[in-house]
Amino acid sequence: MKRYAALLERLAFTPGRNAKLALLETYLRDAPDPDRGYALASLTGELDFAGAKPALLRALVSERVDVELFTMSYHYVGDLAETIALIWPGQGTTRDVPLCEVVETLNKASKSDTPRLIADWLDALDPSERLALLKLMTGGMRVGVSARLALTALANTGDVPLDDILELWAGFKPPYAQLFGWLAGGPKPEPTIKAPFRPVMLSTPQDLDGLRALDPGDYVAEWKWDGIRVQAAADGAEKRLYSRTGEDISAAFPDIVERMDFTGTLDGELIVRREGEVAPFGDLQKRLNRKTAGKALLKSHPAALRLYDVLLWEGADLRDLPFDDRRARLDAAVVTLDPYRFDASPLLPFETWDDLAALRGDPPSPVIEGVMLKRKNSVYSAGRPRGPWFKWKRDPMIVDAVLLYAQRGHGKRSGFYSDFTFGVWEGDRLVPVGKAYSGFTDEELKRLDKFVRQNTIERYGPVRSLSPDLVVEVAFEGLNRSTRHKSGIAMRFPRISRIRWDKPVAEADTLATLEAMLP
């Protein structure tokens, strides 16, 4: 656990991607089996301990520490795992608990035995190791490492390409003995599942100035739809729907999966579609992150795929063909599918970049996020190669809002108030319309934190209510109706794009301004 705790701590305080990769590579090369496999599983979200939930951890610490003291400490620290790690009064003999002991014991433990096991481990560890234990059990890593970054580091420890690992990843189980053996020069494992995930190709951002250096005749364009990128893979009776990161989301979208009457792999955008029209993202959001979908939801929010590409079809791997050829294959494939669930994203007619700019500036639907550009001769290359594919997103929406609440951040931001709730005017009162925790520099964060501490009206645990004295410019990608928010509106990807120290609060925007932006 000492080595694992040191890894998590260094990852949390290391900002650069390459530096994080180096830390991960060293750990995955040098840590013993099976610990390194379980560490990899924790960083990729492949561990789940049903008995180790926050309520249990709160109950355990309340048996050892005065409840009021713990509550005050939690309000100050703002993170449950960190608070418990710091305040836990260790008892008994300390020892280095192997990571594999925790994982394998918890996997076998009964519900009644779990509290005792966790308490014994917390007693045996120092604060940094306790924090690592709690992060492991709850899955709240917060160290700035995505599953793809962890697997990239893994690939760098051997001679196996990342794409090959991703294609077989869903078939591996912790602690990944076969996978590490393959990386060490052993035989390539046989696929253990049909219809596996294939690593997706991604685009890079571009703007009009950058496009002018390119020949428009070399590219095709299509709309960028406001859904989520998915991959539909079918092989006989095996049918799977994957997110772009390889998560199997089939169970939540049976209306798509049951109509996947083909053998192949298709790439597209998951949307909600009614009478041929794409619904706002908020409608799709009601179906995301669910284990299942009920009959009423399937009927009221019917899912569909707007297809972009075909990777495999009827036994043939098409990824090395030029995009023009793959598009022709896609058009031929689409006519064999259920038109209620599948269609192809239409290509846009343009001759010059100015033509395309005019189309982008006046899309036929408010749910369109911009345009996609694909070089006609581009093969389907996993990852984000620069040049073959571009995304030219619409300009973000911007409003001026007033800071209302602030909450402590996590990890390296745990000492700062960095999560902000903001509102706009509705008559003579301010109503909350969103939250943001990004868009500002480290120096701006320090100044915002100082503002919070000097302008606090009330405290609600880790949250502070602020005097309405600061305007921030908020950029966001879109709006949806929402019954979960008092304002009736939810923002997509809000971030603070500018701090308006100069602007009077009375000049902030109104709820009517936001309502006029709704699709």
Look at residue 484 and tell me whether its pLDDT is greater than 80.
no
Given phi > 0 = left and psi -120 to 50 = alpha, else beta, which region is 305? Answer: beta
Torsion of CA 85, 90, 93, 98, to 10 degrees: -20
Omega within 30 of 0 (cis) for the link into 187: no
Look at residue 415 and tell me whether its pLDDT is greater than 80.
no
DSSP 366-389: TTEEEEEEEETT----SB--TTTE
Q: Which CATH code is given to the segment(s) 204-393? A: 3.30.470.30
From 204, 271, 203, 193, select the one nearest 233 (Cα to Cα).
193
Angle, CA 99 vertex, CA 93 and CA 104 arms, to 5°? 105
DSSP 268-322: EEEEEEETTEEPPHHHHHTTTT-S---HHHHHHS-EEEEEEEEEEETTEE-TTS-
DSSP state for residue 219 in the 8-state scheme: E
Residues β-bridged to residue 315: none
From 441, 443, 440, 422, select the one nearest 431 (Cα to Cα).
422
Look at residue 214 and tell me whether its pLDDT is greater than 90.
yes
Residue 337: what pLDDT? 97
Look at residue 412 and tell me whether its pLDDT is greater than 70.
no
- Rounded to a whole number of angstroms, the CA Rg of the chain reads 25
24-61: burial string, b at 16+ Cβ within 10 Å, e else: bbebbeebeebbbbbbbbbbbebbebebbeeeebeebb
Architecture (CATH level 2) of domain 397-517: Beta Barrel (2.40)
Give the whole-angstrom CA distance, residue 487 versus residue 482: 8
Each residue's pLDDT tens digit, 23-66: 999 999 999 999 999 999 999 988 888 778 888 999 999 999 99
Look at residue 178 and tell me whether its pLDDT is greater than 70.
yes
Instruction: Say if CB 435 and CB 494 are below 8 A apart.
Output: yes
The one-letter amino acid code at 277 reads E
Angle, CA 105 vertex, CA 102 and CA 110 arms, to 5°? 130
Q: Where are the domains of the chain?
A: 204-393, 397-517
Look at residue 497 and tell me whether its pLDDT is greater than 80.
yes
Mean pLDDT of 251-270: 96
The label of the residue with tokens 């972009």 reads: 308
Alpha helix positions (H), 113-220: 114-124, 127-138, 147-156, 162-168, 177-183, 208-211
Give the whole-angstrom CA distance, residue 519 versus residue 515: 9
Residues β-bridged to residue 464: 406, 459
Mean pLDDT of 363-382: 93
135: confidence class by pLDDT, cuts 50, 70, 90: very high
Residue 327: what pLDDT? 97
Pairing of strands 204-205, 389-393: parallel
